[in-house]
Structure 1
Amino acid sequence: METLWKKFKKHIKCRADHTERQNKQQKLHQFLRDEEEAIITALREEEEQKKRMMKEKLEEKDRHISALSDPIKDMEEMMKDIETFPVSMERDGEEDESGGARPSQSLVIMSLTLPLRDEKKKQDFVQYLLEYLHTQVTMPQNN
């Protein structure tokens, strides 16, 4: 009977060890599942954050492009006006640094009549022409 009792005790010990190993494995698997879920959640949050940042950057670029569209439209209008304005490029007799004759001041006068939306842009353009022509013209004041 004693050997039967020792066998039974040994069997119970083996079953207890086996059950303990199974519990540890289950805990490990649960821990790994929880970690995997946490990592996936963190990655999704990071992805959403990056999407928001990219959207904000794209919106900023769109605003920048929109801000540039008005000056571009003004320049296009100005170029159309320059192309259709009946101005001969008469020479005023002076030469520029490259040895060629400079265009007359009629280009500056014509630019003063261009219908630009922004007076500052018109003044900037006239200033550019004046620097190009190396001449001085007083800007008419709007009343």
Structure 2
Amino acid sequence: MVLFQEGLRIKMKDLQNTLEDYEQVKLSCDHTAEYIKVQSNNTEKQIKEDFEKLHQFLRDEEAARISALWKEEGQKSRMMKEKIEQMVREISSLSDSIRVVKEKMGADDVSLLQNYKSTLERAQCALQNPERVSGALINVAKHLGNLKFRVWEKM
């Protein structure tokens, strides 16, 4: 009987050793599982920080591009306003000349002959033909062309 008990004690000791090994491995797994959560939280935080930096960079780039666009729009708008004002003055001057010449042409023959020279001078336009405006439009390609590439390059 003692022999059976001794055999069972040996088996029991083996079982207890195996149990201790399992408990050690489980403890190690518990620590690893906790560390995985810490790693995940830290990595998520870093990802969010990095993406916030990228978002801020993109917001800054967007603001710079829009600012450059508004600056060009202001310059082009002022140029067109000046050109329009000049055209209005010249149209007014030409309209006055046309009105005066028509009045003189409608006058009696004696009056027309007396004022012919001054009327002829008035009818001769001192203004050159109006110039078309070149370079007045916004350079869209400058603001949009290769935008992604230029931003990517800066990043």
Q: TM-score, normalised by structure 1?
A: 0.57
Structure exhibiting the larger radius of gyration computed from Cα positions: 2
**Counterpart residue number, 2:64:** 52
Give 1:7's aligned amino acid. L
**Counterpart residue number, 1:63:** 75
Cα 1:107/1:43, change in 2 over 3 Å = farther
Q: TM-score, normalised by structure 2?
A: 0.54
- Whether contact under 8 Å (1:87, 1:106) holds in the other structure is no
Cα 1:70/1:108, change in 2 over 3 Å = farther
- Whether contact under 8 Å (2:101, 2:122) holds in the other structure is yes
Q: Which consecutive residues of structure 1, in runs of 5 or more, have no partner in the other structure?
A: 91-103, 113-121, 128-143
1:55: how far off?
1.0
1:13-54 deviation digits (Å, cap 9, x = unpaired): 201111112212321231122112201210221121111111
Higher relative contact order (CA 8 A, sep 6+): 2
**Counterpart residue number, 2:90:** 78
The aligned runs of 1:67-106 (5 Å cut-off) are 67-85=79-97, 86-88=100-102
**Counterpart residue number, 1:27:** 39
The aligned runs of 1:101-120 (5 Å cut-off) are 109=124, 111-112=125-126
- Among the aligned pairs, what percent are the same residue? 7
Measured on the aligned residues, the alpha-carbon RMSD in Å equals: 2.9
- Whether contact under 8 Å (2:101, 2:123) holds in the other structure is no
Output the CA distance in 1 between the equivalents of 2:120 and 2:24: 111
1:123: how far off?
3.8
- Whether contact under 8 Å (1:87, 1:107) holds in the other structure is yes
Output the CA distance in 2 between the equivalents of 1:49 and 1:10: 57
Cα 1:56/1:107, change in 2 over 3 Å = farther
Give 2:27's aligned amino acid. R
Greater Cα offset, 42-51 or 21-30: 21-30
Output the CA distance in 2 between the equivalents of 1:123 and 1:83: 15
Q: Which consecutive residues of structure 2, in runs of 5 or more, have no partner in the other structure?
A: 1-11, 106-118, 132-155
**Counterpart residue number, 2:8:** none
Output the CA distance in 2 between the equivalents of 1:72 and 1:107: 24
SS in structure 1 at match of 2:101: coil
1:7: how far off?
2.8
